[in-house]
Amino acid sequence: MNTTTHPPVVPPVRVAVVVGSNRQGRFGPVVADWLLGRVRERDDLVPDVVDVAEVALPTTLSPTPEAKDALAGVTPKLADADAYVVLTPEYNHSFPAGLKNLIDWHYTEWRAKPVALVSYGGVSGGLRAVEHLRQVFAELHAVTVRDTVSFHGAGAAFDAEGQPRDASGPAAAAKVMLDQLVWWARALREAKERSPYAG
């Protein structure tokens, strides 16, 4: 009699990659494409992209039919995700208004889920935007992971093919960040299966 037991199959983590800038000429898609390459190398993550520039975000917080229609393509993606990676530039020491609008239009979608943060910008590499986002997500009962990926002088940090000129540093940082994201996503998913979040 064969008594060999196999560990249970753990489903991959569904991660929504949120591209947070909608400005004309934005650099976000370059960073997003690079990051998605790192995500797709893993068998424990399944990505789905949410691009703020592709969402006609309402300018009111009233749940009108027009607002619901505008968000119909993005809200299910956020709701279905087990975790998030949010990409942000830094504008005037903080993150973009379009990203804040997207965040504010949702509440239960973020609750008791982990968020990883990737930033890019000038000298600070967008880290001040990251610190502001940590406060916002804490208010929404989300958990931001400790490690981030940050690109200082982002325009010069990538080559013409959209790859970092220093490939090893960002790749190592992304691995640490994504490892943490997967751990938190699985832990929170299992916890919610045992008991609904009470926050």
User: Which two three-digit tokens encode residue 101?
Assistant: 């609008």
DSSP state of 20: -
Rg, Å, the chain Cα set: 18
What does the pLDDT average to over 25-39? 97
Question: What's at 155, amino acid-wise?
Answer: G
Residue with tokens 């982002």: 154
Name the pTM for this structure: 0.93
Give the rounded percent of residues in the chain with a pLDDT score beyond 90: 84
Three-class SS state of 56: coil
CA–CA distance, 183 with 199 (Å, rounded to integer): 21
Model confidence pLDDT, tens digit, residues 144-172? 999 999 999 999 999 999 999 998 999 99
Q: According to the model, what pLDDT value does residue 15 have?
A: 98
The rounded mean pLDDT for the chain is 94
Backbone angles phi, psi at 129, to 5 degrees: -65, -40
What digits encode the pLDDT tens for the residues 50-62? 999 999 888 877 8
| pLDDT at residue 2 is higher than 70 | no
Band of residue 198 on the pLDDT scale cut at 50, 70, 90 = confident
Q: Which domains does the chain have, with CATH numbers?
A: 13-21+28-192 (3.40.50.360)
**b/e per residue 155-180 (b: at least 16 CB within 10 A):** eebbeeeeebeeeeebeebbeebbeb
**Quick check: 146 and 13 in contact, CB under 8 A?**
no
- Residue 91 burial by CB count (10 A; 0-12/13-18/19+): exposed, middle or buried? middle
Query: Tokens standing for 67?
Result: 């607002």
Kindly indicate the confidence band of residue 180, based on its pLDDT and cuts at 50, 70 and 90. Answer: very high
What separation in angstroms does the CA of 31 have from each of 100, 138, 168, 174, 192?
19, 25, 15, 12, 32
CA-to-CA distance for 177 and 7, rounded, in angstroms? 25
pLDDT in tens, 75-116: 999 999 999 999 999 999 999 999 999 999 999 999 999 999
Handedness of CA 89, 92, 97, 99 (dihedral sign): positive
Q: What torsion, rounded to 10 degrees, do the Cα atoms 159, 180, 87, 71 define?
A: 140
Residue with tokens 């393509």: 73
